[in-house]
Amino acid sequence: MATTTPPRARQSRESVVIRFAGDSGDGMQVTGSRFTVEAALAGNDLTTFPDFPAEIRAPAGTTYGVSAFQIHFGGVDVTTPGDAVDVLVAMNPAALKVDLKDLRLGGTVVVDTGAFTERNLAKAGFPANPIEDGSLAQYQVLTVDITRLTAEAVKDLGLSTREAHRCRNMWALGLMLWMYGRDRQVTTDWLRRKFADRPELAQANVAALNAGHAFGETAEMSEHLVGYTVAKAPVEPGRYRAVSGTEAIAWGLIAGMRAAGLQKMIFAGYPITPASLLLHTLANLKAHGVITFQAEDEIAAIGAVIGAAYAGALGVTSSSGPGMALKTEMLGLAIATELPLVVVNSQRAGPSTGMPTKAEQSDLFQAVHGRNADAPLAVIAPATASDCFEVAIEAVRIATKYMTPVILLSDAYLAHAAEPWRLPDPSALPRFPVHFRTDPAGFHPFLRDPVTLARAWAVPGTSGLEHRIGGLEKDYDTGHISYDPENHARMTRTRAAKIAGIANDIPRQRAALGADHGAVAVVGWGSTYGAIQQAVRDAREDGLDVSHVHLRYLNPFPSNLGDLLKRFDRVLVPEMNTGQLVQLLRAAYLVPAEGLNKVEGKPFKVAELSAAIRASL
């Protein structure tokens, strides 16, 4: 490690939450991502979360143009981006205005005084300079003229003022890397690669990075400028990388396609926040067998993948709430024609357009029940960014084995959140090869597997299996159109039994933490995993009889879920909605489950869950 001995003894921290906040143009996402890499390389566990504005190019200096990146890293198991911020790096007054409220009392705020001009203060709505008027008295304030120091660091490199100004983020990064004793070689190498065709920019950014670092080491020490150490986390040995939920879903889908023995994935999507990222990610993975199609609308996107599935490819589409609503009729067609499909929903706050960049878990009812008529399908949800990989594989397995659409419920948080991921051994991943029907003897399109009840997958191009399917009800025994009342009842029951039967083909539900019986079960699903895990861990350390049960399978539920829940005195169900899983559980098992609900477009804080757990005991 390149760090030299700090001028004064470093203090030790178990874990730290840093938020880099600045104007959209200040490069905060890059800054945060680079810090993440350096922390990960130093062996910390971590979770990150970007918070960028909905506006693409908000006017500079305004509060609605503030872009932030939060990282929680530590020498312990880190499960959330952190309840409260320990260190806020505010590159301008607007960032301070927006993000100060999340800084813990006594926390450190680093401000670029060079950006605290009268004009910027006015734009952010500060009547007086908060650095000078005492309003930051409850925090450790580290005032540095990053703007000027950056300009000085790069002054010999012939950059324009604007270009020089854009190096401020690397200066701030250098200081933070010093503060936590993290290396900067990988970032230096990365800058040289990134600006390979503009060597002077590479040089300037590296110079700014080094200047920020040197400031920490050598500057006239402010009492608030303290260096820290954060130990390596006790993580399992292995090869790691950082992964976001979106990346893990993309790779999991590819792994699933491979596990199913399929050669091609057709992914169709229509631009929608926050789901578009998956389309962008997969568009670059053609070498891995992916063809992406940006359709004219949400309906066309799912229509194309139904067509692709009919023709024997893995069909995948992705959207968010409003787009999912548009796909509803097509989902019914996929259910009626019993074609395999994976539909990824990155849930966001609603109803209607709602808050497109903010996370919610309010599409569970829509996923499970939101179609006309009796139209069952499978619903599963990943818990963490890295869990997205396995869940995407599992979605492909269920879809192809049961010839059904599967909705994978992600959300705006998981789409962007990132964490270290221990890479799986590709040779150890599951295999579930599909068997396309080729034998014409006794064939009809709704011929079923006696165990799974899945119909035969017979694809165009197969001689002797020419057949017609569609949205009209089919005869159970021939696959022809049928209006026979008893046949419709039988087909309706069969479609339901097929989905219900998946419960026999998934792991039994176990507690993610704690015993399988006791005083309180905290039952979650989806991206609330990290916060619940931490809150339950804390409660158990305090001797409380609490378990964490986290559901991956939301339709059908695991076969033992009812029995498991009944072994607890109380069932507490935290959700980022007004109470959807809690109702499904109550309806399915007649258990007195209680909801704990948050609909602020923000993830649960550990403290909120801890308080609720303690209140329930």
Partner 1 sequence: MTVATITDAELAPKDYASDQEVRWCPGCGDYAILKAVQKALAELGARRERTVFVSGIGCAARFPYYLSTYGFHTIHGRAPTIATGIKLANPDLDVWVITGDGDGLSIGGNHMLHVLRRNVDLQIVLFNNEIYGLTKGQYSPTSRRGTRSPSTPQGSIENPVSPCAFALGAGARFVGRAVDTQQADVVALLKRAHAHKGASFVEVFQNCVVFNDGVFDSFTAKTAAPDAQLHLEHGKPLLFGPNKERGLRLKRGTLALEVVPVGDGGLPPHDILVHDETNRALAQLLVGLEPPEFPMALGVLYCAPATSYEADVYAQARAAGLGRDVADLGTLLTRDGTWTVE
The three-state secondary structure class of 478 is coil
Region 469-528 residues binding partner 1, contact defined as CB under 8 A: 469-472, 480-481
The residue type found at 269 is: G
Tell me which amino acid residue 60 is.
A
In this complex, which beta carbon is closest to partner 1, that of residue 444 or of residue 614?
Answer: 444
76 near partner 1 (CB under 8 A)? no
428 scored as a contact of partner 1 (CB under 8 A): no
| CA distances in angstroms from 33 to 28, 39, 50, 179, listed in the order given | 8, 10, 9, 17
Closer to partner 1 at the Cβ: 254 or 531? 254
171 vs 450: CA distance, rounded Å: 65
* Least CB distance to partner 1 at residue 42 (A): 9
Alpha-carbon distances, residue 523 vs 197, 395, 531, 552 (angstroms): 52, 22, 12, 11
For the bound state, the minimum distance from the C-beta of residue 518 to partner 1, rounded and expressed in Å, comes to 34
Number of residues that bind partner 1 (CB under 8 A): 73
Tell me the closest approach of the beta carbon of residue 66 to partner 1, in angstroms. 27
User: For residues 142 and 107, is the Cβ–Cβ distance under 8 A?
Assistant: no
Which residue from 289, 370, 501, 562 is in contact with partner 1, where contact means CB under 8 A? 289
CA-to-CA distance for 9 and 569, rounded, in angstroms? 50
Which residue lies nearer to partner 1 by CB, 176 or 255? Answer: 255
Spacing of C-alpha 333 from chain mean position: 29
- C-alpha 305, offset from chain centre: 24
Phi-psi region of 258 (alpha: psi -120 to 50; beta: other; left: phi over 0): alpha
In the complex, least distance from residue 197 CB atom to partner 1, rounded to whole angstroms: 20
Single out the residue of 106, 351, 463, 486 in contact with partner 1 (rule: CB under 8 A): 463
Look up residue 473 and give its two tokens: 């009800």
Q: Does the protein bind partner 1 through residue 296 (CB under 8 A)?
A: yes
157 binds partner 1 per the rule CB under 8 A:
no
Q: Which of 357, 354, 608 is nearest to 366 (CA)?
A: 354
Site for partner 1 in 230-249 (CB under 8 A): 235-241
Q: Is 198 in the site for partner 1 (CB under 8 A)?
A: no
> Closer to partner 1 at the Cβ: 82 or 303?
303
Told to check if 464 binds partner 1 by CB under 8 A, we report yes
Is 268 a binding residue for partner 1 by CB under 8 A? The answer is yes
158 binds partner 1 (CB under 8 A): no
Cβ-contact 12, 52 below 8 angstroms: no
Smallest distance, partner 1 to C-beta of residue 185, A: 13
Sign (positive or negative) of CA dihedral 455, 459, 463, 468: positive
Question: Which DSSP string corresponds to 253-280?
Answer: HHHHHHHTT-S-EEEEE---TTTHHHHH
The residue from 10, 13, 104, 288 that contacts partner 1 (CB under 8 A) is: 288
Name the residue nearer to partner 1 (CB basis): 119 or 286: 286
Residues between 305 and 334 with contacts to partner 1, criterion CB under 8 A: 305-313, 315, 329-330, 332-333
Contact by Cβ (8 Å): 548, 533? yes
* Paired strand residues for 280: none
State the nearest-atom distance from the C-beta of 300 to partner 1, in Å.
Answer: 4
Binder of partner 1 out of 257, 385, 415, 591 (CB under 8 A): 257
CA distance 347 to 319: 8
Q: Is 1 in the site for partner 1 (CB under 8 A)?
A: no
Q: Does 258 bind partner 1 (CB under 8 A)?
A: yes
Q: Is 467 exposed, middle or buried (0-12, 13-18, 19+ CB in 10 A)?
A: middle
Stretch that binds partner 1, among 294-302, 557-565, 581-589, 604-612 (CB under 8 A): 294-302
Q: Are 245 and 211 contacting, i.e. CB atoms less than 8 angstroms apart? A: no
To partner 1, the closest distance from the beta carbon of 450 in angstroms equals 25
Identity of the amino acid at 412: A
Binding mask 396-425 for partner 1 (x = CB under 8 A): ---------------------------xx-
Contact flag: residue 299 with partner 1 (CB under 8 A): yes
Mask 41-60, x = binds partner 1 (CB under 8 A)? x-x-----------------
Q: Which of 82, 95, 130, 112 is nearest to 21 (CA)?
A: 95
What minimum distance in Å lies between the beta carbon of 476 and partner 1? 17
